[in-house]
Amino acid sequence: MPGLTAHGAGPSTWFQRYLLPGFAFKAVVIGGGYATGRELAEFFLPSGPWGGVIGMGLAALIWSVVCAATFLFARLTGSLNYRDFFRQLLGPGWWAFEIAFVLLLFLILAVFGAAAGAVGEALFGWPPIIGTLLLVAGIAGFTALGNDAVEALFKWVSFLLYGVYGIFLVLALNSFGRRILTTFAGSDIGPGWAMAGLTYSGYNIVGAVAILPIVRHFRHSRDAITAGLLAGPLAMAPALLFFVSMAAWPDIGGALLPSDFLLERMNLPVFRYAFQAMIFAALLESGTGSLNAFNERIAGAVGPARYGTGSRLLVSMMVLICAVFLADRFGLVALIASGYRFLSWAFLAAYVLPLMTIGVWRLWQNRQPVMERIA
C-alpha cells in the first residue's frame, strides 16, 4: 500500500503537519468572493444572521470531515496530485472530476481577476485591467517556482489575513457594534441555511484535492486526520468574523464589494487600504493554490524532471490570460451567482459522494495498517 511509508520520510515540522494543510485549504477557498464578502452575501445573508452563522458552521463541519478523509485516502494511495487521487478513487471515470475542475479553475481565476480589478479601481481609481494584470503576474510567478514557494505564500499570507480580520472585527464592533447586537437580537433562524451550507461547502471542498502536495509532510495517519479536522475551522474562522460585521447592514447584499461597503462606514482610510491590500493577498494565494494544483497534475503526468520552471510559467500564463477574458466579459456577481452552484453539485457527485462511500470503504478494508500508523 503506497503512501503509508513513502510520505513520512524527511523532516517535517508540526506546523507543516497540522496547520499548513488548513492554511493551504483556506488559501484555496477564500478567493475573490469570500475575501470581499461577496460570496457570504450571496449564500448566507438570505438566511439572516443566525441562519448564516449556522450555515457556515455546517459548511465548516463538512469541510473538516471531507478533508480528513481526503488526506487519509491520499496518504494510503500515495496520491500527491488530483489526477492520481481520482484514478485511485474513480478508476476509468477519473476524467469526470477533471472536466469539472478545469471549468472551476477558469471560473475562479476569472472571478479573482475581476475582484482584483475592482479592488484597484475602488482604492486608486485604476482601470480594472491594471489590478487584474498585477494579480496575473503574481500568480504566474509563484506557480512557476513550485510547491515550496507556494507553501511559503500560504504561511505568510495566512498570518496577515487572520490578523487583519481580527482587527476588522474589533473596529466593526467599535464603529457599529450596537447595530450588530440589535440585528442578531431581533432575528430568528432564517430558512435555507442547510442548503446554503451544503452548496457553499460543495464547490469549495475541491480545495482539499487542490492542495494534495502537502500530504508529503504527514508522518502518520493521525497527522492526516488531525490536519483535516482542523482545516474546516481554520478556513471558516475569517469568514465568520466578517459575516458578523456584515450583519449590521441588511442591505449590504446588493454591494459589489461588501468589504468596501463596511470600510467606508468605519471611516478609517488607513485601515481601508490595509484591508484591501489583504484582499489582494488573499486573491493571490487562492489563485496560486488552484493553478498550482493544475501544474502538479501536469507534472505528475509528464514527470517532474520534464516540467520545470519555464513550463510552469508558460502554462500558468496561458490559463490566466484565458481567464482574464472571462473576467472582462462577465461581472463578478454574475460569475458567482451563475456558475458556482452548478459546479457545487458536480463536485458533490464526482468527489464527495465517491470519497465518502468507495474511499471510506477502502480505508476500512485497510484499517489495520492505517490504525497502526495512527497509534
In the chain the domains, ranked by start, together with CATH numbers, are 15-352 (1.20.1740.10)
Three-state helix/strand/coil letters over 114-174: HHHHHHHHHHHCCCHHHHHHHHHHHHHHHHHHCHHHHHHHHHHHHHHHHHHHHHHHHHHHH
Mean pLDDT of 125-131: 89
pLDDT at residue 315, rounded to an integer: 95
Mean of pLDDT values over 100-124: 83
SS3 35: helix
The C-alpha cell of 39 is what? 460570496
Are 265 and 175 within 8 A, CB to CB? yes
- pLDDT of 20: 96
**Spatial distance between the Cα atoms of 246 and 77, rounded to a whole number of angstroms:** 43
Measure Cα distances from 248 to 41, 53, 163, 343 in Å. 12, 14, 21, 31
pLDDT at 294 over 90: yes
Q: pLDDT-derived band of residue 259, with 50, 70 and 90 as boundaries?
A: confident
pLDDT for residue 338 is more than 80: no
Cell of 196: 446554503
According to the model, what pLDDT value does residue 141 have?
A: 95
pLDDT at 8 > cutoff 50: no
Percent of the chain with pLDDT over 70: 90
pLDDT band per the 50, 70, 90 thresholds, residue 346: confident
Q: Specify the pTM.
A: 0.88
Instruction: Give me the chain's average pLDDT, please.
Output: 87
Contact in structure between 228 and 67 (CB atoms under 8 Å): yes
pLDDT of residue 375: 46
pLDDT surpasses 80 at 230: yes
Per-residue buried b or exposed e for 222-252, using 16+ beta carbons within 10 Å of the residue's own CB: bbbbbbbbbbbbbbbbbbbbbbbbbbbbeeb
State the pLDDT at residue 1. 36
Q: Is the pLDDT of residue 15 over 80?
A: yes
